[in-house]
Chain A
Amino acid sequence: MAPRAAHEPPDPSDPSRPPAPFDRRVLLVSGKGGTGKSTVAAALALAGARTGRRTLLVETEGRGGMARLLRVPALRFEEEPTPLGFHAMALTAHEALIEYLTRIMGLRGLGGPLRRARVTEMATEAIPGFRDMMIGGKLHELTGWREVHPDAGRRPYDLLVVDGPPTGQLIQLLRAPEAYRDLIRVGRAARQVVSIHRLFTDELRVVLVAIPEEMSVAETLEAVEGLDGMGAVYGPVLVNRVIPPVFPTGVGAAARRLSPADVAGVLGRAGHPVPEPVAAALLESALMEDGRRRAQRGRVARLARAGPIVELPLLATPSMGPGELEVLADTISAGRGEPAGEGSA
């Protein structure tokens, strides 16, 4: 891909415009707790970096999980390169406010006293939407050329992948710039609010992470409704932890007809005799896994009816790390999963 001047927003009529989700510069990843949102955000950053984009992965609800996943030291408020070809940082509203006040508003001497007084922490927590605006402001700063920073002249990022808020707080974050635009009408802060608003409406795409479980599906469909309601750009829904097919085509029926004695017989003839209770447990666990998968297929189909999805497999590996991210990034790049709604044979 020919490098585009990174500080210009992509032109939607451009025929060389990349396919979703990489047609937008900010990918805001959101999902219910326990869906593997951070893992998926990291895989998305990896897939983006592979397309040649200068990519930054931004952790916003950090508890240190991201650093372990990437196998790097704890993330900080500064962008740092990772061995996976993208940069990463931890963004807190509190740090963003201090940076804003000290560097951008020029209150240089205040950094230390502010931190000690905890006033910034309170401001970001207590004032509705303030936290969201600080995060939005920093994201905006990261997509532009840096002017007043010690490393002035830093190239903007082509792609920000934001490990964002849980689905319940997503709409609130997206609405914050609009609310503030109405509140603050003049001056420098007003211009900044307009820029954040523009970033959110013109350059941001929401990527929802779901798992094929009842609660997650219901919450995802609710979020989709909310996003539709506000005209936000979103999709695809990344469906994580999908159980791969248990029985190859045509074998499922045979498996369901097997008795524990049959299983013991097959294993015995193959030179691995097992007691019948062991054979029974082996058979039962496979049938249960198949049952889980079938239940999942119905839920995946419900998600697919609401819009494009990409299925990410449940990886049976000893731990989650860069190797697993590679597999997930491959799947995201391929941009599809199994045909939705197909049950195992």
Chain B
Amino acid sequence: MSLAERLEGARVIVVCGSGGVGKTTVSAAIALALAGEGRRTAVVAVDPARRLATSLALPRDPGGRRELDLGGPVPLTAMVLDTKRTFDELVERHAGSAARRDRILSNRFYQRIADTLSGTHEYMAMERLHQLATEEDFEVIVIDTPPSRSALAFLDAPRRLTDFLGGRFIRWLLWPYRRAGRAGMRGASLGARMLSRTIGRIAGAELLEDTAEFLAAFEGMYEGFKRRAAEVLELLGRPDTRFVVVTAPEPASLEEGEHFVRRLRASGITLAGAVVNRWRRAPEAPEDPSLEASLAGGEPAGRAVAACLEVAARLRALEGRGRAAVEPFRRSLPDVPLTLVEERPTDVHDVEGLAGFAEQLLRRP
């Protein structure tokens, strides 16, 4: 069964994998193919390469949005994720009052974490997905996931963020720093005071005060925020949400891919399949070192053929390395379909290149 068939009926397609494996290219290629079939499709890119962005005329700035006319029956809607703006919108939605909204949006701690707290990018990508899925009329949404240390951070991010924002321990820790609560320091245990002071000394008391103030402002919207996070996870678990795991033909990448698949399955998520990108395939060729040696000393045509044989030998080694990397994955997850996509002579950076890439990616066997 081809990847195209396994993506049939999908409303949401999430493309994940470790950094540098070609996730953005895979997302763009899938979206392009779907739009080409006449489906109203949106693709959300995260940090697309400049040249890909330029040649597809993707929006230049985060938060931008553009209708791409690719000569098909319907245009493709392309967006670039803006983490900060998505977080701001989320605050606006749940703040309840203008005063609280402003208090949060102007807090220095918020302004810092909105971009740096680990998991924020991942979570905001999913939040954006939820907005698109519930508020707009697309038949399919393809979403790329941010490059991060743990590529599945978006699964943990809602829990992490709500844990963090609602965490009793961090409140306890920060309590002495709440300006209003300064006098209450006496009530804190010796351990809390000591730890608090120490962390304050390292991190700067000012930072902790901002944090405490932010948490106080956030208190009232915590429940709404948590409900929203649960809805996002529910969306990811729907049967018409399909995940594609992208890997490269290297042991570390495939091991990580295997780990992703297990985590996704444990979270009740529907997997469409795994892609091994940048696959190198060796041509069939006589394997005889003496043949190469005898040709290498002769006339130019013979030397050219010797060079061809040498390339074939190198490619055999690289293909072998790829097979050795894929083998454990196949063995431990025999039911996960793997699509091999060959490395192309040039980077994929235009519509034509993407179409060729999509053909290999989605082809029927």
Given A251-B307, A258-B304, A281-B283, answer yes or no on A266-B211 (Cβ-Cβ < 8 Å): no
Q: Is the CB of A218 within 8 A of B49?
A: yes
Q: Is the CB of B19 within 8 A of A286?
A: no
A292–B252 Cα distance when bound, in Å, is 25
- Which B residue's beta carbon lies closest to that of A131? B118
Q: Give the contacting residue for B198; candidates A107, A125, A130; CB below 8 A.
A: A107
A71–B61 Cα distance when bound, in Å, is 44
- A247 close to chain B: CB less than 8 A: yes
> Least Cβ distance of B134 to chain A in Å?
29
Q: Is the CB of A187 within 8 A of B305?
A: no
- Which A residue's beta carbon lies closest to that of B161? A126
Interface of B is mostly: helix
Could you say which residues of chain B place their CB within 8 Å of the CB of A100? Answer: 202
- Chain A, interface size category, equals 35 or more
> Least Cβ distance of A211 to chain B in Å?
9
Q: Is the CB of A189 within 8 A of B202?
A: yes
Q: Is the CB of B311 within 8 A of A246?
A: yes
Could you say which residues of chain B place their CB within 8 Å of the CB of A318? Answer: 317, 320-321, 324
- Which B residue's beta carbon lies closest to that of A61? B149
A96–B294 Cα distance when bound, in Å, is 60
Chain B 227-251, CB within 8 Å of chain A: the 1/0 string? 0000000000000000000001001
- A283 close to chain B: CB less than 8 A: yes
Q: Is the CB of A246 within 8 A of B307?
A: yes
Interface of A is mostly: helix
Q: Is the CB of A33 within 8 A of B20?
A: yes
Interfacial residues of chain B within 293-322, with CB under 8 A of chain A in the complex: 294-295, 300-305, 307-309, 311-315, 317-318, 320-321
Q: Give the contacting residue for A319; candidates B312, B315, B321; CB below 8 A.
A: B321
- Which A residue's beta carbon lies closest to that of B286? A272
A183–B169 Cα distance when bound, in Å, is 25
Q: Is the CB of A288 within 8 A of B345?
A: yes
Q: Is the CB of B169 within 8 A of A214?
A: no
> Least Cβ distance of B50 to chain A in Å?
5
Q: Is the CB of B285 within 8 A of A278?
A: yes
> Least Cβ distance of A226 to chain B in Å?
15
Which of B173, B211, B248, B300 has the most chain A CB within a 10 Å cutoff? B300
Q: Give the contacting residue for A292; candidates B147, B295, B345; CB below 8 A.
A: B345
- Which B residue's beta carbon lies closest to that of A269? B302
A214–B195 Cα distance when bound, in Å, is 48
Chain B 162-200, CB within 8 Å of chain A: the 1/0 string? 001001011001000000000000000001001100110
A247–B295 Cα distance when bound, in Å, is 13
- A117 close to chain B: CB less than 8 A: yes
- B37 close to chain A: CB less than 8 A: no
Given A166-B147, A282-B312, A318-B321, answer yes or no on A101-B20 (Cβ-Cβ < 8 Å): no
Q: Is the CB of A189 within 8 A of B285?
A: no
Given A33-B20, A34-B21, answer yes or no on A126-B211 (Cβ-Cβ < 8 Å): yes
Could you say which residues of chain B place their CB within 8 Å of the CB of A267? Answer: 286, 291, 305
Chain A 278-301, CB within 8 Å of chain B: the 1/0 string? 100111111011011001000000
Q: Is the CB of B204 within 8 A of A255?
A: no
Q: Is the CB of A214 within 8 A of B308?
A: no
Q: Is the CB of B288 within 8 A of A272?
A: yes
- A127 close to chain B: CB less than 8 A: yes
- B219 close to chain A: CB less than 8 A: no
- A74 close to chain B: CB less than 8 A: no
Q: Is the CB of A258 within 8 A of B301?
A: yes
Q: Is the CB of B303 within 8 A of A251?
A: yes
- A105 close to chain B: CB less than 8 A: yes
- B256 close to chain A: CB less than 8 A: yes
29 residue pairs from A and B, CB less than 8 Å apart: A34-B21, A63-B252, A64-B252, A119-B169, A122-B167, A123-B203, A125-B117, A125-B118, A128-B113, A128-B207, A180-B204, A184-B201, A184-B204, A214-B49, A215-B347, A218-B50, A246-B311, A255-B308, A258-B304, A262-B301, A266-B295, A266-B305, A270-B295, A281-B283, A282-B309, A283-B308, A285-B312, A316-B314, A319-B251
- 9 further A-B contacts with Cβ under 8 Å, apart from A101-B198, A127-B207, are A64-B255, A113-B191, A126-B113, A128-B113, A168-B147, A215-B347, A247-B304, A266-B301, A271-B291
Binding site for A on B (CB under 8 A): 18-21, 47, 49-52, 112-113, 116-119, 147, 149, 164, 167, 169-170, 173, 191, 194-195, 198-199, 201-204, 206-207, 211, 248, 251-253, 255-256, 282-286, 288, 291, 294-295, 300-305, 307-309, 311-315, 317-318, 320-321, 324, 345-347, 349
